[in-house]
Structure 1
């Protein structure tokens, strides 16, 4: 998944915008999305298949708004998954979301090094989260040691949300890479080196449906 993405399924063309597609655009409450489409490429690509998009959004709403996992560990999960898959689309946005969730730049840098980085010394929960993400992605399962380390901090429902959250972002990375979903035009992307293409400063950001 290196180099430029080849677009295979692009944003839904305007002449194909049905009410069902517009519902996909507007699902997250983005202003003017029903009339003018979403500003996010992922939503515009999903609109090619509204029944799938609606099912996926229902799942995504739980992970984003009803998950039993706190925001900080969720951002650790997403950033580590994006790093594994070299999914620039998710990495770019979740660096800003991670900063909003309280991660420091040193911690985001250490996400690239994984759970054994000395940055996580004394931060047992963060280390357990990153280790569990690695094992699920690398081996499709979690060892007893990794599971027990995570269970020391997460209850039964959180453990269930954890596994499904990792799976969601792996699946999303597959979609981005396979369909060829680029970072939106006009966006100044954040690379895996944690530098913007323009050289500008990094800053915390909110999701489109969240107020600053």
Structure 2
């Protein structure tokens, strides 16, 4: 973790207003817990409410296949050195079928052996968006052979959403939830 203590600590139930408690009640009802990211954002209930709308689209109703979405999110979390984001999406990635080997391979990049053409293009697109805020023509050409316009839009906004979230998590010092592991040991 970049910070060992939060700059903005997660709000306790006593510190949360009624609106935040209501929003977080919906989240905790689904999972049985309130993660540190949401308890931190509860300090700004209006933002939290709007963030959940966009974040829910990217995570739950995006047109991208879940596996592809998680490759994008894990790669941008890795590039942003966002250990909290990485830990959350390792858990989600495993749930949707990514192997531990594939998860670690995401850290090695698009040229690591074992990726399909599309998977390599997903990782390359993430690298290009992160580095230059633009997907190069060669990468776009591969992606557009596999995805329709809605999926291409969702791809860019998935990387953008999790780039922004990574910036916030790193800067606020959101600490790993107890169940999450951090970054893997890489060669």
Q: CA deviation at 1:99?
A: 2.0
Structure 2: runs of 5+ lacking an equivalent:
none
Aligned length: 186
User: Against the structure 1 CA distance between its residues 167 and 5, is the aligned structure 2 distance closer, same or farther, given a 3 Å change threshold?
Assistant: farther
Partner of 2:15: 16
Q: Return the index of the structure with the highest Cα Rg.
A: 1
Greater relative CO (CA pairs within 8 A, separation 6+): 2
What CA deviation, in whole Å up to 9, does each residue of 1:146-205 have, x standing for no partner?
111111111100000000000010011011011110012x335233327xxxxxxxxxxx
Partner of 1:95: 90
Query: Contact 1:24–1:46 (CA<8 Å) still a contact in 2?
Result: no
Q: CA deviation at 1:11?
A: 1.1
Q: Which shows bigger deviation, 9-18 or 48-57?
A: 9-18
User: Against the structure 1 CA distance between its residues 62 and 132, is the aligned structure 2 distance closer, same or farther, given a 3 Å change threshold?
Assistant: same
- 1:133 to 2:126 alignment: yes
Query: Within 5 A, what are the aligned runs for 1:49-88?
Result: 49-88=44-83
Query: Contact 1:5–1:177 (CA<8 Å) still a contact in 2?
Result: no
Match of residue 169, structure 2, among 147, 152, 176: 176
Secondary structure of 1:112's counterpart equals: helix
What CA deviation, in whole Å up to 9, does each residue of 1:105-148 have, x standing for no partner?
2221210110011121xx11111111111100011111111111
Query: Contact 2:74–2:106 (CA<8 Å) still a contact in 1?
Result: yes
Secondary structure of 1:111's counterpart equals: helix
Query: Contact 1:7–1:179 (CA<8 Å) still a contact in 2?
Result: yes
Ranges of 4+ aligned residues in structure 1 off by more than 6 Å: none
TM-score (norm: length of structure 1): 0.81
Structure 1: runs of 5+ lacking an equivalent:
195-212
- Tell me, in whole angstroms, the C-alpha distance in 2 between the residues paired with 1:92 and 1:47: 21
Structure having the larger proportion of residues in helix: 2
- Tell me, in whole angstroms, the C-alpha distance in 2 between the residues paired with 1:104 and 1:15: 40
